[in-house]
Structure 1
Amino acid sequence: MSAYPEIGEQALCRPVPDGAFARYSARPVRTLDDFQKVVAIRAAVFMAEQDCPYEEEFDGNDFCATHFVVFDGDSPVGTLRLRWFAGFAKLERVVLLRGQRGRPALQVMLAEAFELATRKGYRRMIAQIQARLWPVWSRTFRCRLTADRPRFWFSDFEYAEIEIDLPEHPRALAPDSDPMVMIRPEGEWDAPGVLDASVARTDRPDVAA
């Protein structure tokens, strides 16, 4: 992501520490190579540490979601998944390698993910968290337990549902946004993309794709 995620950061309980964005960076997955990083990190933590079966961890939703990877320098150290529904987004599969837990990598990744969600116009997000981790998540981003929703179990853990209120982005994308902005790579809407460059090849710039 190219710009500082100042809107996404507002959804966190505490500002990202000084210097964290110089060390860590996070971006949406756009290539097979980055997706392989997602698979490797999740396998290392959810399958190896938590003994989650392969078919439960890779549940059929990965190719219809947006993934983020966070890097410590050039090394991938964490990932999360976002799925999109009418009126809300769903935060899933948030994970860091063991050596990164408690460090700013998580805040950087969440700030970037929340920035993308708010830029898409989302104001509400839900997540299903391991119930034992509620104290951790409640101190990480601005969230609340969803009222009147019972706890539930799957993959050998007890879960609770939470809601995250997202701030309004002043430049949220809308149906009447510039069409050339809408076709740029996910999360890179402010930088000209390859299709912007293709406009110079035609003498009829008013013709839509």
Structure 2
Amino acid sequence: MTGRPVIGEQVLCRRVPEGAFERYSARPVRTLEDYQKMAAIRAAVFMSEQDCPYEEEFDGNDLCATHFLVFDGTQAVGTLRMRWFAGFAKLERVVLLRSQRGRPALQVMLAEAFELAARKGYTRMIAQIQARLWPVWSRTFKCRMVPGRPRFWFSDYEYIEIEIVVPHHPQALSADEDPMVMIRPEGLWDRPGVLDASAGRSGQGDVAA
């Protein structure tokens, strides 16, 4: 993604402070190194601070999800996870290192993540949040408790389900997109990628998907 995440920022309750996008940056996890940073942050917070067992924190969904990292300069300081379903996306595992809580890192990461979801064509997201954190999340991004849904427990915490409405993105991707756009790295659809550079080579010979 390029530029300020205009659509993603509209989901937040407050505009990201001036200068925050210069200090902080967020991007999808695309490399093994970034994946390891994500896992280290989650282990430091969920396993160490909240005493969550390893097999409950790393629950079998990580290799089929999109992860985000937020950086303070070059240091990864937070992460979140998104999973994709027909008609909605699910926001999960939102976490910051203790030193970053209360700072704009969270807003930057969420704005970029919501922007990605909007570009992928999603207008509805759900999240399962610790019930005790409803006052925090309801002041962070525009959401509502899903009516009629029961509270439930897992990993020693009470949870509620919330719904997040994401504005339609004017550049939402579709099945009719330029094929070269669709094969670019996740979130970098507006930049020519390595496969764009390969297009100039001869088209002769066998073709494989």
Q: Scaled by the length of structure 2, what TM-score is found? A: 0.97
Aligned to 1:187: 187
Q: Secondary structure at the match of 2:180?
A: helix
Q: Secondary structure at the match of 2:199?
A: helix
The answer for unaligned runs of 5 or more in structure 2 is: none
Aligned to 1:25: 25
* Counterparts of 1:143 and 1:203, CA distance in 2: 49
Q: Scaled by the length of structure 1, what TM-score is found? A: 0.97
Aligned to 1:12: 12
Give the counterpart letter for 1:151 in structure 2: R
Whether 2:138 is the aligned partner of 1:154: answer: no
Aligned to 1:166: 166
Aligned to 1:89: 89
Alignment of 1:98-177 (within 5 A): 98-177=98-177
* Counterparts of 2:134 and 2:53, CA distance in 1: 24
Offset, 1:8: 0.6
Offset, 1:202: 2.1
* Counterparts of 1:203 and 1:159, CA distance in 2: 54
* Counterparts of 1:112 and 1:194, CA distance in 2: 23
Offset, 1:4: 1.3
Aligned to 2:48: 48
* Counterparts of 2:92 and 2:76, CA distance in 1: 18
Offset, 1:3: 2.1
Q: Secondary structure at the match of 2:3?
A: coil
Q: Secondary structure at the match of 1:139?
A: helix
* Counterparts of 1:138 and 1:203, CA distance in 2: 53
The answer for unaligned runs of 5 or more in structure 1 is: none
* Counterparts of 1:208 and 1:53, CA distance in 2: 43
Offset, 1:203: 5.1
Alignment of 1:55-74 (within 5 A): 55-74=55-74
Offset, 1:208: 8.9
Give the counterpart letter for 1:14 in structure 2: R
Offset, 1:157: 0.2
* Counterparts of 2:146 and 2:49, CA distance in 1: 28
> Once superposed, which parts of structure 1, at least 4 consecutive aligned residues long, lie more than 3 Å away?
none
* Counterparts of 1:106 and 1:23, CA distance in 2: 12
